[in-house]
């Protein structure tokens, strides 16, 4: 699409065109597009638009769409609110990169290498001799008085003396073009995965410019991080390295899964790991496997509920003991949270002189910690030019901006600081540099900040990833935050020399890689897969039965009491109505129906359809890395479908089958599709076998019980009851094809119980289990699950078809009871055998 602006410009120079459609930045801010001098573009931006050409410039809107599409297709998300119901928001990425020239970058690089070295040395001192405290160079309130100083690690020296394997720094550029450090992240910095996705998406949009501008590549920095982990690992080259995530509800979970895949690490949660003695192990279906290195994305205090936060369910009890014993490398080492306090910045220049014997190369914003009287006096005099931030999490608040405040607001802040000076830190206010973004035919300047990453090198020292995560405020806000709806941009660093062509993206596989491709299934993943199978089958069965009950009650046939009673029992067995609900008698029919419809959407009631679907979502969410995106979409779709019948809406309180049945039909279709995904789209490893075992066990439990009820009550002898049995087994069409309209009990027993060719028959389900159970990983001393199942000889049609004088089918009813019982026993045995170490943990104190 041609932008009318360009036509009126009559220019062939794309850089001139770009300059013409670029809005002027706010005065007093650095302009990334034009540099300090202006009005023309900086050399790299001139080259960028030159390579792009006038035609490329006019096609930028389409490229914006392509980037948005790719983000969506790759499933790049950022969980805005880190809770179960919070939306996973698509990652936001601007089309234009932040471009840094080689000289600028060299200064940043040298400054950040020095600063990371400094912070590491400072940690070694504070967990060791504490000379900086004794010399009065750092206030004890900011270290020993900070909740992030971890006393259980006092005296601990990590392997190689490396506390920080990875550190991130937020930089901002002032009006004169100089770079300043605004904040530092040392616990478990985020961004390494997102910036890589940004690079893949944006370099694809501008391949020529990317090449022509000689943008430095990133892969070597990731390789260095991995190599240094292996070099320092207590297990050396044969180490197992895992990436520890807090789980799918963490705001940056996407990145954890992405990085684990990119770096070739196993993604684990705390409950996947266990400490035995002084070593760390991963719990797998095949037993315990030693772990040597944990790259963690969990904050310090959550890592070990025994010695740190007792209420943490995300950590590994005993982890600190294993660290102290030198049996595991934790990257980063724990206990650096206090370095993230803004107050520390004010003390770094003097500490740098003392520890590194050199001036601090890349300065922080001027910082005053108000707990120091002299500093507080200075800060209080000029609050109108400062930003006030919390010193630590002890007293938390949003950063307070001084500029533009009236006298009353400033006096109020003064009083707050005076009441608890330690808790407040002031930093000078920096007008952020403005970087160009593309918005519908215009280059709009927006305030941006750059997060850069230092990684440890295998031989010691640090290197800086040549790039970073640029974050951009959506409007002219002075604060940049992805949580507040900001966007991000790729960061291009112009290479001073050769472009480093190393790549970590998948290489061509060798035959030996294929031979060793067995995938470790963690016990937690196995448990979730098992329950995914059970919940999917349960949802499918209960929805089918709910449909059946509603349709039968509202059919044109006059129902006998016997049928009504059987329906009532089956509905209660499947938790469609409370056990105390009025029976489906003719008089109470409406009340029963309303109960049933209201129960469908009541997520509180254990085992309601809504409850089962939410459980399905939760278990699927735990193992999203194993599911096809379509699989996950179907699960979300099923929940959305159920929500169309909202509690509180009139049609639910006074619900009728006419409202509920179409919803149940659509839901049923989605659930069948989920089953199809599971049967046909998943790798057939031990995890999949457990999923299938879970599904078959659930099927046995539901169907054996429903059929038992229909036989015990005699309802099966009636037309409606006979039809119910066929429907419950989803075998109506098969029966019609075989027997047309003949209604014979022996044919029913044959098709639903004995027939090994009907995939929904009990014999076929039992047969599937017989085949699958022996393929599960062997566990020494465990009893044989197959022996619990009734043998093939018990499925004898003649014997099962015997009807006693009282009208009961004794042998059949006994077999049905036995099948249900066996399913429960096998399920328990599997729980104990493969997952029982994944039970809830609790903290105790005396």
Partner 1 sequence: MSAAVTLDIVHDTQYHYAGRVDLAYHLAMLKPQDSGRQRTTSFALDCEPRPSYRQTGTDAFGNHRDLFSIYAPHDELHVRSTSRVVLVAAPASEVAASQPWERVRVAMRYRAGAPYLPATEFAFASPYVPIVQELADYARPCFAAGRPVLAGAEALMQRIHEDFEYATASTQVDTPLMAAFVTRRGVCQDFAHVMIGCLRALGLAARYVSGYLLTQPPPGQPRLVGADASHAWVSVFCPDLGWLDFDPTNAVITDVDHVVVATGRDFADVTPLRGVIHGGGEHTLDVAVTVAPYCPAP
Contact footprint for partner 1 (CB under 8 A): 133-137, 139-141, 144-145, 147, 151-152, 154-155, 274-278, 305-307, 310, 317-318, 321, 324-325, 350, 371-374, 394, 419-420, 836-837, 839-846
CB neighbourhood size of 408 (10 A): 8
Q: How many angstroms separate the CA atoms of 16 and 9, rounded? A: 9
Q: Which two tokens stand for residue 409?
A: 């607001």
- Report, in Å, the least distance between residue 419 CB and partner 1: 7
Nearest to 831 by CA among 398, 292, 349, 285: 285
Nearest to 815 by CA among 791, 786, 784: 791
- Report, in Å, the least distance between residue 339 CB and partner 1: 17
Torsion of CA 304, 310, 315, 319, to 10 degrees: 20
Q: Which residues, in sequence order, are bridge partners of residue 470?
A: 450, 489
Pick between residue 113 and residue 126 the one whose CB is nearest to partner 1: 126
The DSSP symbol for 84 reads T
Pick between residue 191 and residue 342 the one whose CB is nearest to partner 1: 342
- Report, in Å, the least distance between residue 302 CB and partner 1: 13
Residue in this structure with the two tokens 């349960």, named with its chain if needed? 538
Per-position DSSP letters for 711-771, written without gaps between them: HHTSGGGSHHHHHHHHHHTT-HHHHHHHHTT---HHHHHIIIII-SSSTTSHHHHHHHHHH
Pick between residue 75 and residue 145 the one whose CB is nearest to partner 1: 145
Q: Which residues, in sequence order, are bridge partners of residue 12?
A: none
Q: How many angstroms separate the CA atoms of 719 and 557, rounded? A: 10
- Report, in Å, the least distance between residue 148 CB and partner 1: 13
Pick between residue 374 and residue 501 the one whose CB is nearest to partner 1: 374
- Do the Cβ atoms of 271 and 295 come closer than 8 Å? no
Pick between residue 28 and residue 155 the one whose CB is nearest to partner 1: 155
**The pairing of beta strand 367-369 with beta strand 424-428:** antiparallel
Q: Report in angstroms the alpha-carbon separations of 614 from 608, 619, 664.
A: 10, 9, 16
Pick between residue 737 and residue 780 the one whose CB is nearest to partner 1: 780
Residue in this structure with the two tokens 């910095």, named with its chain if needed? 189
CB neighbourhood size of 201 (10 A): 21
Q: How many angstroms separate the CA atoms of 50 and 40, rounded? A: 13
Pick between residue 420 and residue 719 the one whose CB is nearest to partner 1: 420
- How far out from the chain centre does Cα 215 lie? 31
Q: How many angstroms separate the CA atoms of 698 and 750, rounded? A: 21
Peptide bond into 266 cis (omega under 30): no
Residue in this structure with the two tokens 């009728």, named with its chain if needed? 656
Pick between residue 592 and residue 835 the one whose CB is nearest to partner 1: 835
* 561-573 vs 719-728: helix crossing angle, rounded to 10: 20
The number of residues making up the chain comes to 846
- Report, in Å, the least distance between residue 376 CB and partner 1: 11
**The pairing of beta strand 424-428 with beta strand 400-401:** unpaired
Q: How many angstroms separate the CA atoms of 314 and 268, rounded? A: 11
Q: How many angstroms separate the CA atoms of 781 and 837, rounded? A: 17
- Do the Cβ atoms of 64 and 95 come closer than 8 Å? yes
Residue 526's contacts (CB-CB under 8 Å, 6 or more residues apart) are 285, 686, 687, 690, 834, 835
- Report, in Å, the least distance between residue 274 CB and partner 1: 7
- Do the Cβ atoms of 141 and 371 come closer than 8 Å? yes
Q: Coil, strand or helix: which one is 240?
A: coil
Pick between residue 325 and residue 358 the one whose CB is nearest to partner 1: 325
Rg (CA), the chain: 33
Pick between residue 107 and residue 395 the one whose CB is nearest to partner 1: 395
- Report, in Å, the least distance between residue 841 CB and partner 1: 5
- Report, in Å, the least distance between residue 788 CB and partner 1: 22
Q: Which residues, in sequence order, are bridge partners of residue 368?
A: 426
CB neighbourhood size of 796 (10 A): 12
- Report, in Å, the least distance between residue 304 CB and partner 1: 9
Q: How many angstroms separate the CA atoms of 270 and 243, rounded? A: 10
Residue in this structure with the two tokens 């010695």, named with its chain if needed? 307
- Report, in Å, the least distance between residue 277 CB and partner 1: 5
Q: How many angstroms separate the CA atoms of 433 and 448, rounded? A: 6
Q: How many angstroms separate the CA atoms of 554 and 200, rounded? A: 57
Phi, psi for 194 (deg, rounded to 5): -60, -40
Residue in this structure with the two tokens 């599409």, named with its chain if needed? 69
Pick between residue 372 and residue 750 the one whose CB is nearest to partner 1: 372
| Neighbouring C-alpha atoms within 13 Å toward the C-beta of 253 | 23
- Report, in Å, the least distance between residue 377 CB and partner 1: 12
- Report, in Å, the least distance between residue 347 CB and partner 1: 8
- Report, in Å, the least distance between residue 313 CB and partner 1: 10
């Amino acid at each position: 699409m041609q932008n009318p602006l360009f036509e009126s410009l009559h220019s062939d120079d794309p850089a001139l065109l770009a300059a013409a459609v670029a809005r002027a930045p706010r005065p007093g801010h650095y302009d990334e597009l034009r540099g300090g001098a202006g009005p023309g573009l900086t050399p790299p931006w001139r080259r960028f638009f030159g390579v792009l050409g006038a035609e490329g410039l006019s096609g930028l809107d389409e490229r914006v769409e392509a980037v948005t599409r790719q983000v969506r297709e790759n499933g790049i998300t950022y969980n805005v609110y880190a809770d179960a119901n919070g939306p996973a928001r698509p990652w936001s990425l601007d089309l234009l990169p932040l471009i840094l020239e080689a000289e600028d970058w060299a200064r940043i690089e040298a400054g950040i290498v020095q600063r990371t070295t400094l912070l590491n040395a400072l940690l070694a001192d504070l967990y060791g001799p504490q000379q900086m405290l004794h010399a009065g160079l750092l206030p004890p309130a900011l270290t020993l008085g900070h909740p992030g100083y971890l006393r259980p690690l006092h005296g601990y020296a990590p392997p190689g003396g490396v506390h920080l394997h990875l550190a991130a720094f937020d930089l901002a550029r002032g009006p004169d073009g100089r770079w300043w450090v605004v904040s530092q992240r040392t616990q478990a910095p985020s961004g390494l995965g997102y910036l890589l996705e940004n690079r893949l998406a944006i370099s694809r949009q501008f391949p020529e410019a990317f090449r022509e501008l000689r943008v430095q590549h990133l892969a070597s920095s990731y390789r260095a991080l991995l190599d240094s982990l292996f070099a320092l690992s207590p297990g050396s080259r044969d180490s197992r390295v895992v990436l520890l995530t807090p789980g799918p509800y963490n705001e940056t979970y996407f990145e954890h899964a992405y990085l684990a895949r990119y770096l070739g690490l196993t993604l684990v949660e705390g409950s996947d790991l266990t400490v035995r003695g002084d070593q760390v192990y991963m719990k797998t279906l095949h037993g315990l496997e030693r772990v040597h290195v944990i790259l963690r994305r969990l904050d310090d205090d959550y890592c070990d509920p025994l010695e740190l936060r007792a209420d943490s369910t995300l950590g590994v009890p005993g982890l600190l003991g294993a660290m102290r014993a030198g049996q595991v490398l934790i990257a980063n080492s724990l206990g650096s949270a206090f370095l993230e306090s803004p107050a520390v910045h004010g003390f770094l220049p003097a500490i740098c002189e003392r520890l590194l014997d050199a001036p601090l190369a890349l300065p922080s914003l001027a910082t005053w910690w108000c707990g120091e009287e002299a500093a507080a006096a200075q800060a209080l005099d000029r609050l109108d030019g400062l930003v006030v931030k919390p010193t630590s999490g002890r007293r938390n608040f949003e950063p307070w901006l001084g500029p533009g405040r009236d006298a009353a607001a400033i006096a109020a802040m003064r009083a707050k600081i005076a009441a608890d000076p330690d808790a407040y830190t002031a930093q000078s206010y920096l007008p952020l540099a403005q970087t160009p973004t593309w918005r519908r035919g215009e280059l709009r300047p927006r305030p941006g900040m750059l997060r850069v990453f230092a990684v440890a090198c295998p031989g010691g020292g640090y290197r800086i990833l040549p790039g970073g995560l640029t974050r951009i405020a959506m409007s002219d806000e002075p604060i940049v935050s992805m949580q507040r709806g900001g966007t991000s941009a790729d960061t291009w660093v112009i290479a001073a020399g050769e472009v480093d062509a190393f790549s970590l993206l998948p290489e061509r596989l060798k035959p030996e890689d294929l031979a060793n491709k067995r995938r470790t299934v963690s016990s937690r993943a196995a448990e979730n897969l098992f329950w995914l199978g059970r919940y999917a089958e349960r949802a499918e069965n209960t929805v089918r039965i709910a449909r059946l009950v509603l349709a039968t009650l509202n059919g044109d046939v006059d129902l006998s009491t016997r049928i009504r009673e059987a329906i009532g029992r089956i509905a209660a067995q499947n938790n469609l109505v409370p056990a105390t609900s009025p029976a489906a008698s003719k008089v109470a029919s409406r009340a029963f129906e309303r109960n049933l419809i209201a129960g469908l959407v009541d997520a509180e009631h254990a085992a309601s359809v809504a409850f089962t679907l939410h459980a399905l979502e939760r278990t699927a969410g735990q193992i999203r890395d194993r599911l096809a995106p379509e699989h996950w979409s179907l699960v979300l779709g099923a929940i959305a479908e159920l929500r169309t019948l909202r509690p509180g809406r009139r049609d639910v309180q006074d619900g009728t089958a006419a409202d509920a049945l179409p919803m149940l039909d659509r839901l049923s279709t989605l659930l069948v599709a989920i089953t199809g995904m599971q049967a046909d789209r998943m790798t057939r490893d031990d995890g999949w076998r457990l999923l299938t075992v879970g599904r078959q066990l659930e099927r046995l439990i539901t169907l054996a019980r429903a059929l038992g009820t229909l036989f015990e009550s005699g309802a099966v002898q009636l037309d409606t009851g006979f039809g119910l049995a066929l429907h419950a087994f989803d075998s109506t069409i098969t029966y019609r094809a075989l027997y047309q309209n003949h209604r014979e009990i022996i044919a029913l027993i044959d098709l639903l119980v004995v027939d090994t060719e009907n995939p929904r028959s009990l014999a076929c389900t039992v047969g599937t289990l017989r085949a699958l159970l022996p393929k599960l990983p062997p566990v020494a001393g465990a009893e044989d699950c197959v022996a619990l199942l009734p043998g093939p000889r018990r499925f004898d049609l003649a014997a099962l078809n015997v009807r006693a004088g009282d009208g009961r089918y004794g042998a059949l009813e006994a077999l049905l009871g036995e099948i249900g019982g066996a399913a429960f026993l096998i399920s328990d045995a599997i729980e104990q055998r493969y997952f029982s170490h994944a039970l809830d943990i609790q903290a105790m104190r005396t």
